[in-house]
Amino acid sequence: MAGRPEGGEEQHSPTQRTDAMKDISCKLLVIGAGPGGYVCAIRAGQLGVDTVIVDFQKPGGTCLNVGCIPSKALIHAADEFLKVREMAGGSDPLGISLASPAIDLPKTIAWKDRIVGRLNTGVAGLLKKAGVKSVTGHARFRDGKTVEVETETGIQVIRAEAIVIATGSAPVELPSLPFGGPVISSTGALSLSEVPATLAVIGGGYIGLELGIAYAKLGAKVTVVEAQDRILPLYDADLTRPVVKRLQALGVEVLTGAKAKGLSKSKDALLVETANGEEAKIAAEKVLVTVGRRPVVEGWGLKEIDLDRDGRFIRIDEQCRTSMRGVYAIGDVTGEPMLAHRAMAQGEMVAEIVAGQRRSWDKRCVPAVCFTDPEIVSAGLTPDEARQGGREVRVGQFPFSANGRAMTLQAEDGFVRIVARADNHLVLGIQAVGAGVSELSAAFSLAIEMGARLEDVAGTIHAHPTQSEGLQEAALKALGHALHI
């Protein structure tokens, strides 16, 4: 995000100049160097568009710096540590044993930070290679064609023919549990110096569960507090059932229908109103709040250009155009799904539009991945969504318990499911839950984008032994002749 971080507006007036820095004029200005912004700038540069990108932090945005990448690094470290702990406990079925496992969390965090640093450097290099000029500072609109940037050396004015807003999103803060002290956001959870003995996670969505499971594997006693009647409410119950089973095996306590009320007076426990209306106290050395993210629409002069809004978000059309001519918006600031790969696809499209090409947003699906244990992937329509409006569908489901590769990986929980129209067998959606199924997401999306039918998927030779065979078998099941179940 490129606007001023949460906490207020600039103290100077929009027209105040602190020095005589020369104004910059360009064809395209991108505000925000997250996944959407930097992809937009790189593609524009490749197409010969004179491009400037502005952000107050290192390139990569939330995803690279404090989100997708570092969280997956922590999840991997937690997975490896759990394997070692199980070996030390003598419960490893492979016959591997060792003694006294321990984790040096600061060393783990340093490893994670090195990965982030390498990617920061890589993105900066790609921007430079594409001929994009990078400006570090806090951007603020003066009008629809002019932005001023508060840099370390003064106010830099930038005039552009087209502007892309890619300011991203920020964690939602609860009034009763403001961030600070023992209360942390996902950003804080990725930079702890030690594993907390007890951790309360408020919010049973994908962010809370990904991090909660990781810390449970690292040795914390984790409790999840979810206001709705089940975890991961955006996914159907069949997909989340294996995750619930795994949470129980890891000793994670889950309170559904419960509401967090605040910290205890001693600040070492979370006060919760349970589903039956009683008050409970949960021991919590740290309280991780993951109740959603909100678009960053404050701190960069949105009032100066008065864009139409769609609730909290900036309203856009199928070409990511806002209500002001020449101003585009992409990524989290434009609404759900708040996913990095959606922002990247939008950014690439807008760059090509600015370069004079004809493009519009006609994606059939945006895959969603939940990196819990086991992982969940959903692309396109679920069975219930596909049946809306009275449409008849065919559904095929294949369990990993019948997949040889899954057995050898000790990963038999879960399944692959395919949804298609009953009349012409057009694939409408594919979902899976299981170990490592995130790597199947591209195949799922490709089938839907290419307009595949059940016969296309079933007739494609899938390598054996792999988990991907589950996709072929699910299609065969939908056609009525699965081979291995």
Predicted local confidence at residue 97, as pLDDT:
84
Residue 151: strand, helix, or coil? strand
Residue 374: strand, helix, or coil? coil
| Entry pTM | 0.93
Predicted local confidence at residue 76, as pLDDT:
96
Burial class (CB in 10 A: 0-12, 13-18, 19+), 311: exposed
- Alpha-carbon distance of 380 to 372, in angstroms, equals 20
Predicted local confidence at residue 3, as pLDDT:
52
pLDDT-wise least confident of 9-23, 28-42, 43-57, 156-170: 9-23
Predicted local confidence at residue 91, as pLDDT:
76
pLDDT digits (tens, 9 = 90+) for 125-174: 999 999 999 999 999 999 999 999 999 999 999 999 999 999 999 999 99
Domains plus CATH for the chain? 1-171+292-362 (3.50.50.60), 183-291 (3.50.50.60), 368-479 (3.30.390.30)
Predicted local confidence at residue 20, as pLDDT:
57
Of the candidates 239, 227, 232, 184, the residue with the CA atom closest to the CA atom of residue 207:
232
The mean pLDDT of the chain is: 94
**Under 8 Å between Cβ of 203 and 189:** no
Say whether 464 is catalytic.
yes
pLDDT digits (tens, 9 = 90+) for 295-341: 999 999 988 898 999 999 999 999 999 999 999 999 999 999 999 99
State what percent of residues in the chain have pLDDT above 90.
91
Say which of 76, 464, 481, 484 is annotated catalytic. Answer: 464
Predicted local confidence at residue 14, as pLDDT:
41
pLDDT at 231 over 60: yes
Burial class (CB in 10 A: 0-12, 13-18, 19+), 222: buried
> Averaged over 280-296, what is the pLDDT?
97
Predicted local confidence at residue 245, as pLDDT:
97
Sequence-distant (6+) residues with CB within 8 A of 323 are 307, 308, 315
> Averaged over 199-223, what is the pLDDT?
98
Predicted local confidence at residue 7, as pLDDT:
40
Query: CA dihedral defined by 78, 80, 82, 85, rounded to 10 degrees?
Result: -130
**Confidence band for 391, pLDDT divided at 50, 70 and 90:** very high
Residue linked to tokens 């920061």: 120
Residue 53: strand, helix, or coil? strand
pLDDT at 187 over 70: yes
pLDDT digits (tens, 9 = 90+) for 70-110: 999 999 999 999 999 999 988 788 888 888 899 999 999 99
